[in-house]
Amino acid sequence: MFRIFVSGIALSLALSGCAVSVGSGTGVDKIADATQESLQKQFVPGVAKRGDVALELGAPSDKAAAGGLDIWNYRYTRDAAIGVMFVGIPIGSKKIASFYFDDADGVLKKIEYKVLQQ
């Protein structure tokens, strides 16, 4: 009987020592499941304008200007952690969609989409 009890305790400790906790995402939800290809189909470079992107995605997380281009960045972060023997190891991801517009006419020049593991 004692062996069964000890085995049960050992098994429950082993199973509780490894868990995944996924938090809710923050930022622009509309890019959470996007890809480079899906964004380029939705917003065709050379055709789409700033207003088209703003209408679909809302206000950008931040803006910049460089070399005659307006750069709009949309960010989405999902925090997650793996618990191994009571120690949390972060494994979340950060997604950034950058839209480059011609400063003069507002036409979309290119899109960059990055997924960074944290």
- In the prediction, which pLDDT does 84 show? 52
Tell me the C-alpha distance between 21 and 89, whole Å.
10
Please state the φ and ψ torsions of residue 59, each to the nearest 5 degrees. -70, 140
What are the CA-CA distances from residue 7 to residues 2, 13, 15, 19 (Å)?
A: 8, 10, 12, 20
30 falls in which pLDDT band (50, 70, 90)?
confident
- Residue 78: per-residue pLDDT: 83
User: Rounded to two decimals, what is the model's pTM?
Assistant: 0.72
DSSP class of 28: -
For 40-89, the pLDDT digits (tens) are: 999 999 999 999 999 999 999 999 999 999 999 999 998 765 555 554 55
**Domain extent listing, the chain:** 20-117
1 CB-contact burial (10 Å; exposed 0-12 / middle 13-18 / buried 19+): exposed
State what percent of residues in the chain have pLDDT above 90: 54
Q: What is the mean pLDDT of the chain?
A: 81
Q: Is the pLDDT of residue 5 over 60?
A: no
- C-alpha angle with apex 22: 16 to 27, nearest 5 degrees? 165
- Can you tell me whether residue 10 is helix, strand or coil? helix
- The pLDDT assigned to 38 comes to 96
